[in-house]
């Protein structure tokens, strides 16, 4: 594995002025010809040059893997070129109260039964595609992609991509791990170099020592508050300084995981003894020994050059609670009760949820259980539904063996399946009607409106598992566990002691049930992968048409979106996850969460051809049928959040041509380019105000020429018009995707000439 080491990043160090930060160095053993280098002697410029990299591995979760695999199948290639895995985690729904379809049961076992039945077709598809094309298959129940990767595949100095925005979780083990759309994964699985704009490097210098209630989660909650949801865009966030060694390996994973919430390309920690212990505990002693011998190049040089440095003193860092509705609204716990009262957020807590890929380590679970145990001793139980999601079967089995699950159970907790569940809106919640304002608190990472339970009035807050547990016991968000007391069964007041937890299980990990299906050496004998043409869940892809060679003229503005427009607004998850393998069906959710700037409503736009008001997907379909091209106009950080390429495929499928916004989130911008769309940005953000949704838009100067803006011309209904330049970030290679109609079309063109 080390021979395929990420020499690709190493090559950066050749061009960047030394000494370099860790993000720009990685060992090579020995380096193959560095594909990532531009022609000899050309400088690599952070934030500007495109790198062509060779990742060591690809990981895909079930909700994004379907589309990635459908694209891979249509490329006609026989087998993936790099080690790759599927993880069945997003499609299992979690229930927290008795449900009819679960024969009156709820929780892990009941949910798994229903999940397996409901998603059989998709799991069978992934399992058979894995066998045919050489992709390892982690069965439903095995756990959440990032936890499995950390436990099995991540290694210091490696480079991987994953079709999920929280792939950077592996940075906790010193791996450069980047979240991408499915089309990027297809490139890598096809053996092509993977293209990435050379990131800038933001350094976060940690000093001091954490204690008491403060945990790694608070580091990233604090960083999110400083950098905001777009502050990490185009950057690797690299942690360094003496405080780094105070954080456990899984804690570093938590910090890197939630770097996705600030839009960072990835986050990374230098190799240290905490990683070494984790490698040993997860059965990778040999890898640890090897990493030791390379430690010099897995740690930053003295005086490394960072583009920006943030200082965090762990000794004074308070626990933080972030939210509601955005992960960068960070409030220290000492000020949180006031913030709740001042903002009028519902103080009564309705549900508390711990676990997920972000926070389900052994240490997390022990610290949460240590809080619950103290409450139990005082006769106090959770005041609200309290859910625990183990990140993997290994974690579940280990915390069961060590008695932690019993503690949670006695405190009134429900253990959910080893899967994403409520984190991705797969939550069969019945206690609060849709539209009713209420508060929930989770140890997850994202809290956009409607994400967990499809209720836009739910105020979701994110914090550490131990603070979530304390809130669950109080049932009230104005409770500060560091200062306020609970009342025990005997009427006596109890002040909770700070949580305790072992970094790693003293008795070692219990692997639990074996849930992995390796890919056979030779897939050619495996049966072909069948997709039923009548299926509502899976649909083979039709290639998009090539560019017609003309400028885009007189396009309608399908929607001018106002404010936050994340991938959850563009292609909602939850109930729509079931259509992730069927482009036409999932397109019925396109932009239904976005707010129309013209009327302040969601999913209500005027068709400018007919004057009829209808839902966004219906209107798009009407334009497509009438041959009217359309564009989307949007605000800042458009496409923030998930890596889901459906947010780009859907507009392309329904006849969209361009998305013109103030700024993009990285993965979404790439996804749009890959599918043959034009992602464009206003050079002057005030130009956003010039466009009215009744105008007709032309984009002149196509195809895009690298480095040269395009021209946007708007024609108003009264016959007047306006013009301004708009930026794009296409490079020469990406222009070929636009011309061919998609990156996949281009790949096929190139393959056919070989």
Interface residue with ligand MIC, options 99, 366, 418, 642 (CB under 6 A): 642
CB-CB contact of 567 with 649 (8 Å): no
CB-CB contact of 163 with 146 (8 Å): no
Q: How far is the CB of 169 from ligand SF4 (least distance, A)?
A: 8
Would you say 164 or 363 has its CB closer to ligand SF4? 164
Q: How far is the CB of 462 from ligand SF4 (least distance, A)?
A: 11
Which of ligand SF4, ligand MIC, none binds 539 (CB below 5-8 Å, type-dependent)? none
Q: Which 8-state DSSP code applies to residue 717?
A: T
Q: How far is the CB of 362 from ligand MIC (least distance, A)?
A: 22
Stretch near ligand MIC under the rule CB under 6 A, chosen from 249-257, 518-526, 641-649, 707-715: 641-649
164 as an active site residue: the answer is yes
Angle 483-484-487 from CA coordinates, rounded to 5°:
145
- Asked whether position 355 contacts ligand MIC by CB under 6 A, the answer is no
- CA–chain centroid gap for 694, Å, is 34
Helix ranges (H only) for 583-695 are 583-586, 616-626, 646-653, 666-674
Which of ligand MIC, ligand SF4, none binds 621 (CB below 5-8 Å, type-dependent)? none
Residue 246's contacts (CB-CB under 8 Å, 6 or more residues apart) are: 206, 208, 209, 210, 314
Give the active site residue among 56, 62, 164, 184.
164
CB atoms within 10 A of CB 29: 14
Would you say 260 or 608 has its CB closer to ligand MIC? 260
CA–CA separation, 646 and 163 (whole Å): 12
Helix ranges (H only) for 520-674 are 567-570, 583-586, 616-626, 646-653, 666-674
Would you say 654 or 665 has its CB closer to ligand SF4? 665
Which of ligand MIC, ligand SF4, none binds 144 (CB below 5-8 Å, type-dependent)? ligand SF4
Interface residue with ligand MIC, options 71, 282, 361, 643 (CB under 6 A): 643
- Asked whether position 364 contacts ligand MIC by CB under 6 A, the answer is no
Would you say 166 or 284 has its CB closer to ligand MIC? 166
CB-CB contact of 206 with 243 (8 Å): yes
- Asked whether position 743 contacts ligand MIC by CB under 6 A, the answer is no
The H-or-E segment that residue 208 falls in is: none
Give the active site residue among 89, 184, 328, 568.
89
Give the active site residue among 57, 90, 569, 666.
90
Locate the DSSP E strands across 13-93.
50-53, 57-61, 84-87
CB atoms within 10 A of CB 525: 9
Would you say 89 or 238 has its CB closer to ligand SF4? 89
CB-CB contact of 618 with 647 (8 Å): no
Would you say 646 or 728 has its CB closer to ligand SF4? 646
Would you say 90 or 728 has its CB closer to ligand SF4? 90
Which of ligand SF4, ligand MIC, none binds 63 (CB below 5-8 Å, type-dependent)? ligand MIC
CB-CB contact of 373 with 395 (8 Å): no
- Asked whether position 442 contacts ligand MIC by CB under 6 A, the answer is no
Which of ligand SF4, ligand MIC, none binds 740 (CB below 5-8 Å, type-dependent)? none
- Tokens 């954490």, located at residue: 210
CA–CA separation, 190 and 28 (whole Å): 23
Interface residue with ligand MIC, options 54, 428, 560, 644 (CB under 6 A): 644
CA–CA separation, 725 and 708 (whole Å): 9
Stretch near ligand MIC under the rule CB under 6 A, chosen from 8-16, 97-105, 164-172, 692-700: 164-172
Q: How far is the CB of 643 from ligand MIC (least distance, A)?
A: 4
Question: HSE of 493 in the Cβ direction (CA atoms, 13 Å)?
Answer: 5
The footprint of ligand SF4 (CB under 6 A) covers 89-90, 144-145, 164, 166, 356-357, 420, 423-424, 444-445
Would you say 164 or 636 has its CB closer to ligand SF4? 164
Q: How far is the CB of 444 from ligand MIC (least distance, A)?
A: 8
- By CB atoms closer than 10 A (0-12, 13-18, 19+), residue 280 is middle
CB-CB contact of 346 with 438 (8 Å): yes
Would you say 153 or 444 has its CB closer to ligand SF4? 444
Would you say 214 or 360 has its CB closer to ligand MIC? 360
* Sites for ligand MIC among residues 176-235 (CB under 6 A): 179
Q: How far is the CB of 541 from ligand MIC (least distance, A)?
A: 17
3-state secondary structure of 343: helix
367 as an active site residue: the answer is no
642 as an active site residue: the answer is yes
CA–CA separation, 450 and 574 (whole Å): 9
Would you say 179 or 639 has its CB closer to ligand MIC? 179
644 as an active site residue: the answer is yes
Q: 213 φ, ψ to 5°? A: -85, -10
Q: How far is the CB of 179 from ligand MIC (least distance, A)?
A: 6
Q: How far is the CB of 131 from ligand MIC (least distance, A)?
A: 23
Would you say 165 or 233 has its CB closer to ligand MIC? 165
Residue 427's contacts (CB-CB under 8 Å, 6 or more residues apart) are: 93, 94, 95, 96, 421, 452, 453, 574
CA–CA separation, 389 and 402 (whole Å): 16
Which of ligand SF4, ligand MIC, none binds 224 (CB below 5-8 Å, type-dependent)? none
- Asked whether position 666 contacts ligand MIC by CB under 6 A, the answer is no
Q: How many residues are given for the chain? A: 754
Give the active site residue among 46, 166, 320, 446.
446
CA–CA separation, 392 and 163 (whole Å): 18
CB-CB contact of 562 with 635 (8 Å): yes
Gyration radius from the chain CA atoms = 25
Residues that contact ligand MIC, how many (by CB under 6 A): 14
Q: How far is the CB of 447 from ligand SF4 (least distance, A)?
A: 11
- Asked whether position 89 contacts ligand MIC by CB under 6 A, the answer is no
Which of ligand MIC, ligand SF4, none binds 356 (CB below 5-8 Å, type-dependent)? ligand SF4
- Asked whether position 164 contacts ligand MIC by CB under 6 A, the answer is yes
- Asked whether position 645 contacts ligand MIC by CB under 6 A, the answer is no
* Sites for ligand MIC among residues 494-513 (CB under 6 A): none
695 as an active site residue: the answer is no
CB-CB contact of 662 with 638 (8 Å): yes
89 as an active site residue: the answer is yes
- Asked whether position 641 contacts ligand MIC by CB under 6 A, the answer is yes
Q: How far is the CB of 126 from ligand SF4 (least distance, A)?
A: 16
- Asked whether position 65 contacts ligand MIC by CB under 6 A, the answer is no
Would you say 367 or 451 has its CB closer to ligand SF4? 451
CA–CA separation, 617 and 360 (whole Å): 37
Q: What is the 3-state secondary structure (H, E, C) of 358-405?
A: CECCHHHHHHHHHHHHHHHHCCCCCCCCEEEECCEHHHHHHHHHCCHH
Q: How far is the CB of 571 from ligand MIC (least distance, A)?
A: 8
Give the active site residue among 146, 451, 537, 644.
644
Dihedral class, residue 160 (left if φ above 0, else alpha if ψ from -120 to 50, else beta) = beta
CB under 8 A, 24+ apart: contacts of 30-33: 31/7, 32/7
Q: How far is the CB of 180 from ligand SF4 (least distance, A)?
A: 14
Binding mask 565-584 for ligand MIC (x = CB under 6 A): --------x-----------
Whether the ω angle into residue 19 lies within 30 degrees of 0, i.e. cis, is: yes
Question: What residue ranges bind ligand MIC (CB under 6 A)?
Answer: 63-64, 90, 164-166, 179, 424, 446, 573, 641-644
Catalytic residues: 89-90, 164, 446, 642, 644
């Amino acid at each position: 594995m080390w021979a395929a080491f990420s020499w690709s990043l190493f090559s950066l160090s050749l061009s960047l002025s030394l000494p370099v930060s860790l993000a720009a160095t990685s060992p090579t053993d020995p380096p193959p010809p560095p594909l990532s280098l531009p022609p000899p002697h050309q400088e690599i410029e952070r934030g500007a040059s495109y790198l062509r990299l060779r990742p060591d591995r690809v990981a895909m979760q079930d909700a994004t893997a379907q589309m990635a695999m459908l694209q891979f199948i249509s490329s006609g290639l026989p087998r993936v070129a790099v080690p790759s895995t599927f993880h069945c985690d997003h499609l299992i729904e979690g229930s927290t109260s008795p449900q009819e379809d679960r024969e009156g049961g709820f929780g892990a076992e009941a949910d798994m039964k229903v999940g397996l039945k409901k998603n059989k077709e998709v799991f069978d598809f992934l399992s058979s595609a894995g066998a045919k094309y050489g992709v390892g298959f982690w069965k439903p129940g095995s756990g959440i992609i990032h936890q499995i990767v950390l436990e099995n595949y991540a290694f210091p100095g490696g480079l991987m991509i994953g079709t999920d925005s929280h792939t950077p979780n592996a940075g906790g083990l010193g791996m450069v791990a980047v979240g991408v759309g499915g089309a990027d994964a297809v490139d890598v699985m096809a053996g092509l170099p993977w293209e990435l704009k050379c990131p800038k490097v933001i350094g976060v210098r940690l000093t001091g020592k954490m204690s008491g209630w403060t945990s790694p989660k608070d580091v990233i909650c604090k960083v999110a508050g400083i950098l905001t949801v777009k502050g990490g865009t185009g950057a690797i966030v690299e942690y360094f300084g003496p405080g780094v060694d105070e954080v456990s390996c899984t804690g570093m994973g938590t910090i890197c995981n939630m770097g996705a919430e600030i839009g960072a390309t990835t986050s990374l920690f230098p190799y240290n003894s905490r990683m070494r212990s984790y490698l040993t505990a997860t059965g990778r002693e040999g890898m640890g020994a090897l990493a030791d011998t390379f430690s010099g190049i897995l740690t930053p040089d003295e005086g490394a050059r960072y583009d920006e440095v943030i200082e965090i003193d762990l000794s004074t860092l308070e626990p933080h609670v972030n939210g509601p509705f955005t992960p960068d609204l960070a409030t220290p716990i000492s000020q949180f009760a006031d913030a709740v009262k001042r903002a009028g957020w519902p103080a009564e807590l309705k549900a508390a949820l711990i676990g997920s890929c972000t926070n389900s380590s052994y240490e997390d679970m022990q610290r949460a259980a240590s809080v619950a145990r103290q409450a139990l001793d005082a006769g106090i139980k959770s005041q609200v539904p309290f859910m625990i999601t183990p990140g993997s079967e290994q974690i579940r089995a280990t915390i069961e063996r060590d008695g932690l699950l019993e503690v949670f159970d006695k405190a009134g907790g429900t253990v959910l399946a080893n899967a994403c569940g409520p984190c991705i809106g797969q939550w069969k919640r019945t206690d609060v009607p849709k539209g009713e304002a209420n508060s929930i608190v989770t140890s997850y990472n994202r809290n956009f409106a409607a994400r967990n339970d499809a209720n836009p009035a739910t105020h979701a807050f994110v914090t550490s598992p131990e603070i979530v547990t304390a809130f669950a016991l109080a049932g009230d968000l104005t409770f500060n566990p560091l200062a306020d007391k609970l009342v025990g069964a005997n009427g006596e007041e109890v002040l909770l002691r700070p949580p305790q937890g072992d970094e790693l299980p003293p008795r070692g990990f219990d692997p639990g049930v074996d849930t992995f299906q390796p890919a056979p050496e030779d897939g050619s004998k495996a049966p072909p992968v069948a997709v039923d043409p009548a299926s509502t869940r899976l649909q083979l892809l039709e290639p998009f048409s090539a560019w017609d060679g003309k400028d885009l003229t007189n396009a309608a503005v399908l929607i001018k979106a106002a404010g936050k427009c994340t991938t959850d607004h563009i292609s909602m998850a939850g109930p729509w996850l079931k259509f992730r393998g069927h482009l036409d069906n999932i397109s019925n959710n396109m932009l239904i969460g976005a707010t129309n700037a013209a009327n302040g409503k969601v999913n209500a736009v005027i068709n400018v051809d007919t004057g009829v008001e209808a839902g966004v997907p219906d209107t798009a379909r009407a334009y497509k049928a009438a041959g009217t091209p359309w564009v989307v106009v949007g605000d800042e950080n458009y496409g923030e959040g998930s890596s889901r390429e459906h947010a780009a495929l859907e507009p392309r499928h329904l006849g969209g041509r361009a998305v013109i916004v103030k700024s993009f989130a990285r993965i979404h911008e790439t996804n749009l380019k890959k599918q043959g769309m034009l992602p464009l940005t206003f050079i002057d953000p005030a130009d956003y105000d010039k466009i009215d949704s009744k105008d007709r838009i032309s984009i002149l100067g196509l195809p895009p020429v690298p480095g040269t803006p395009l021209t946007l011309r708007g024609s108003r209904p009264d016959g007047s018009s306006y013009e301004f330049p708009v930026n794009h970030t296409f490079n020469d290679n990406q222009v070929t995707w636009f011309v061919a109609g998609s990156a996949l079309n281009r790949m096929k063109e190139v393959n056919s000439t070989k």
